[in-house]
């Protein structure tokens, strides 16, 4: 049986020459034994092979050669033999190597992956130390312990990266030397050399300490990225045990030092806001607006810039309720001043509405940060329900004759019903506080539609607003509610001086409207 002894240096070329010769004579894989005999071993020590190539042409594609040359760098003693099997297989079936279900291919790919990973780790974890010297070029040395026979494949990277210095990389397998721009290889040192400590070790330590995030300590991930076997040769890893021990304390300190100040643009807004004490039990619309500024009923207050309270005529018979402030509204502190607001205000002008109170179901902007953008997110039911406390208060003081709900969130806030809007739009429903609400499209929804659909929805919003304007301006008697009870008089909740001072009529007085079409 021919025995092929591969040298430690130049193993790739030696394997290629031997494999080609064996294959050209049609020698089966199980008829050859492969060994790595270390530096200086010669090819074909027990060589019974003819001294020239045989009659069979040997074919190998470029991807196959690249794969096999990587595989034979693997430390596994089987690697050269497996590579030879693949070469023989290729002579019979050119597609076998590309078949991901083929057992030999799977094994070769796994070996090659492990070699590539080892090369990557050498590039990442090799640390040079400067050697003393008076020559024109600085000199460095490094000790590294790779898992596979990769020195010849991995070190050209350092020649490209550190071409302006001379260096030597010592490993248990081979030595790579780069001098005056030339890279050469020689056998390994007999023992691990003592390299001088050098100043760059402290730099590595500082770098590592500064990039170490104690709040993101994931020891398993760290060990997978920087396997423990490399630690002993890395100056910075000596710091790891102490850094891990300190991590918890540092996280606590980071938390304590977290900024409690809002972003810069908020400063101006906060300066504008009155610092008056917030009233607990608002007795007027103004007090309610003031109290809402300190609202912490849900978590939206944490990220939003400010509460966006309603605006308009506090004596208006018509209230229009949107979903929540958007980016523009959050910064300006006014409802409907962004693109959706522009559309709404245009349609309100077209519909020739009288006095209106314009507000939202949710008073804080809900968003998800994406880079510098704040992307709108719909409020969830819990947030709408928390904020209903403010909407109810606002409605109690405004006491509108009719309310328009723009979109699903407003309709849910006012009626407690979350059914689809397509079946509800244009109809009047009963609010939770016993009032009347006309449901319509939200202007943002219209902005998202295209062409004819957008025009049609816009026309419907205009029609709804015009109807709402007419109904709110009318007088008349409300039809009895479905259970026969008279409508709840929400204005009677405004008792005493507040109601007297408002000079307004009660809810029932103001809802003397006939012809409202109730659907609930
Ligand atoms: N969308 C709303 O629902 N309200 C606003 O204030 C702005 C956009």
Q: CB of 101 within 8 A of CB of 75? A: no
Query: The domain containing residue 425 runs over which residues?
Result: 285-473
Residue among 308, 325, 348, 356 to mutate when testing ligand 1 (max atoms within 8 A of CB)? 325
**Does the pLDDT of residue 312 top 70, yes or no?**
yes
Q: What does the pLDDT look like over 374-423, one tens digit per residue?
A: 899 999 999 999 999 999 999 999 999 999 999 999 999 999 999 999 99
Q: Which one has a higher pLDDT value, 296 or 400?
A: 400
- Specify whether 131 is located in the same domain as 78: no
pLDDT class of 469 with cuts at 50, 70, 90: very high
Asked if residue 506 is part of any domain, the answer here is no
From 78, 102, 121, give the residue that closes a domain.
121
Q: Which one has a higher pLDDT value, 212 or 99?
A: 99
Residue-level pLDDT at 205: 73
Asked if residue 269 is part of any domain, the answer here is no
Residue-level pLDDT at 475: 55
- Specify whether 57 is located in the same domain as 176: no
- Specify whether 459 is located in the same domain as 414: yes
**Does the pLDDT of residue 240 top 90, yes or no?**
no
Q: What are phi and psi of 437, to 5 degrees?
A: -135, 135
Chain position carrying tokens 């307004």? 504
Asked if residue 261 is part of any domain, the answer here is no
User: Strand 436-440 vs strand 402-406: parallel, antiparallel, or unpaired?
Assistant: parallel
Distance 360 CA to ligand 1 centre (A): 7
**Does the pLDDT of residue 343 top 80, yes or no?**
yes
pLDDT class of 479 with cuts at 50, 70, 90: very low
Residue-level pLDDT at 490: 30
- Specify whether 318 is located in the same domain as 234: no
Residue-level pLDDT at 38: 52
Q: What does the pLDDT look like over 164-175, one tens digit per residue?
A: 899 999 999 999
Asked if residue 380 is part of any domain, the answer here is yes
- Specify whether 300 is located in the same domain as 356: yes
- Specify whether 242 is located in the same domain as 139: no
* Lowest mean pLDDT segment, chosen from 206-220, 339-353, 441-455: 206-220
- Specify whether 337 is located in the same domain as 464: yes
Residue 487's SS3 state is coil
Residue-level pLDDT at 65: 92
Q: What does the pLDDT look like over 222-234, one tens digit per residue?
A: 787 778 888 877 8
Average model confidence (pLDDT) across the chain? 83
d(CA 288, CA 12): 82
Distance 348 CA to ligand 1 centre (A): 14
Asked if residue 233 is part of any domain, the answer here is yes
Percentage of the chain surpassing pLDDT 70?
83
- Give the contacts of 464 (CB within 8 A, at least 6 positions apart): 404, 425, 426, 438, 440, 441
Number of domains in the chain: 4
Q: Which atom of ligand 1 is found nearest the CA of 322?
A: 3
d(CA 409, CA 413): 6
Asked if residue 270 is part of any domain, the answer here is no
- Cβ burial of 231 (10 Å; 0-12, 13-18, 19+) is middle
From 160, 186, 212, give the residue that closes a domain.
186
**Does the pLDDT of residue 259 top 70, yes or no?**
no
- Specify whether 103 is located in the same domain as 137: no
Percentage of the chain surpassing pLDDT 90?
58
Structure tokens at 269: 């807004």
* DSSP type of residue 518: B
List % helix, strand, coil for the chain (3-state, nearest 5): 45, 15, 40
Helices (H), 126-213: 151-154, 156-161, 199-211
Helices 381-398 and 407-415, packing angle to 10 deg: 70
Q: CB of 429 within 8 A of CB of 463? A: no
Cross-strand partners of 182:
179
Mean pLDDT of 478-497: 36
d(CA 445, CA 460): 12
- Specify whether 117 is located in the same domain as 239: no
- Specify whether 230 is located in the same domain as 217: yes
Distance 335 CA to ligand 1 centre (A): 6
Q: Which one has a higher pLDDT value, 491 or 64?
A: 64
From 473, 491, 515, give the residue that closes a domain.
473
Q: How many helices (H) and strands (E) does the chain have?
A: 21, 15
- Specify whether 357 is located in the same domain as 446: yes
Q: Which atom of ligand 1 is found nearest the CA of 410?
A: 3
Distance 63 CA to ligand 1 centre (A): 59
Chain mean position to CA 185? 46
Q: Which atom of ligand 1 is found nearest the CA of 329?
A: 6
- Specify whether 352 is located in the same domain as 403: yes
Asked if residue 90 is part of any domain, the answer here is yes
Distance 487 CA to ligand 1 centre (A): 29
Distance 437 CA to ligand 1 centre (A): 18
Residue-level pLDDT at 95: 85
- Residues contacting ligand 1 via CB (< 6 Å): 322-326, 329, 335-336, 338, 340-341, 360, 444
Asked if residue 113 is part of any domain, the answer here is yes
Mean pLDDT of 121-142: 88
């Amino acid at each position: 049986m021919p025995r092929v002894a591969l040298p430690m240096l130049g193993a790739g070329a030696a394997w290629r020459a031997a494999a080609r010769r064996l294959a050209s004579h049609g020698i089966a894989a199980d008829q050859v034994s492969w060994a790595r005999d270390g530096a200086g071993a010669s090819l074909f020590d027990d060589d019974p092979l003819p001294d020239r190539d045989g009659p069979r042409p040997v074919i190998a594609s470029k991807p196959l050669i690249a794969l096999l040359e990587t595989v034979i760098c693997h430390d596994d003693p089987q690697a050269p033999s497996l590579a030879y099997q693949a070469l023989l297989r290729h002579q019979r079936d050119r597609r076998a190597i590309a078949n991901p279900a083929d057992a030999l291919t799977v094994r070769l790919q796994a070996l090659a992956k492990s070699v590539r990973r080892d090369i990557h780790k050498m590039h990442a974890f090799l640390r040079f130390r400067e050697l003393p010297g008076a020559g024109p070029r600085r000199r460095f040395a490094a000790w590294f312990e790779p898992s596979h026979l990769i020195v010849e494949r991995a070190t050209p990277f350092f020649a490209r990266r550190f071409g302006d210095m001379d260096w030597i990389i010592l490993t248990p397998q081979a030595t790579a030397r780069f001098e005056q721009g030339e890279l050469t290889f020689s056998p390994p040192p007999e023992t691990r050399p003592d390299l001088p400590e050098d100043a760059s070790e402290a730099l590595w330590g500082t770098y590592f300490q500064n990039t170490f995030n104690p709040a993101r300590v994931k020891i398993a991930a760290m060990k997978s990225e920087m396997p423990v076997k490399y630690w002993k040769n890395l100056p910075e890893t000596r710091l790891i045990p102490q850094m891990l021990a300190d991590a918890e304390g540092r996280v606590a300190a980071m938390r304590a030092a977290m900024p409690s100040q809002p972003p810069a643009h908020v400063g101006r807004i906060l300066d504008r806001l009155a610092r008056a004490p917030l009233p607990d039990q608002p007795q007027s619309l103004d007090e309610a607006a003031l109290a809402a500024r300190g609202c912490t009923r849900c978590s939206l207050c944490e990220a939003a810039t400010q509460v966006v309270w309603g605006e308009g005529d506090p004596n208006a018979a018509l209230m229009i309720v949107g979903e929540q402030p958007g980016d523009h509204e959050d910064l300006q502190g006014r409802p409907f001043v962004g693109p959706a607001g522009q559309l709404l205000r245009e349609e309100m002008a077209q519909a020739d509405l009288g006095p209106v109170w314009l507000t939202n179901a949710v008073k804080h902007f809900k968003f998800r940060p994406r880079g510098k953008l704040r992307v709108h997110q719909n409020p969830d039911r819990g947030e709408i329900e928390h904020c209903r406390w403010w909407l109810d208060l606002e409605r109690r003081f405004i006491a509108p004759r009719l309310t328009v709900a723009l979109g699903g969130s407003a309709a849910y806030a006012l009626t407690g019903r979350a059914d689809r809007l397509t079946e509800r739009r244009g109809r009047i429903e009963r609010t939770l506080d016993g009032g009347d609400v006309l449901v319509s499209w939200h202007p943002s929804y219209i902005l998202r539609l295209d062409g004819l659909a957008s025009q049609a929805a816009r026309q419907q919003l205009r029609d709804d607003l015009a109807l709402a304007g007419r109904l709110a301006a009318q007088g008349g008697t409300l039809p009895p509610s479905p259970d026969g009870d008279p409508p709840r008089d929400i204005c009677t909740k405004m008792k005493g001086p507040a109601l007297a001072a408002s000079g307004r009529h009660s809810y029932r007085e103001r809802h003397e409207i006939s012809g409202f079409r109730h659907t609930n």
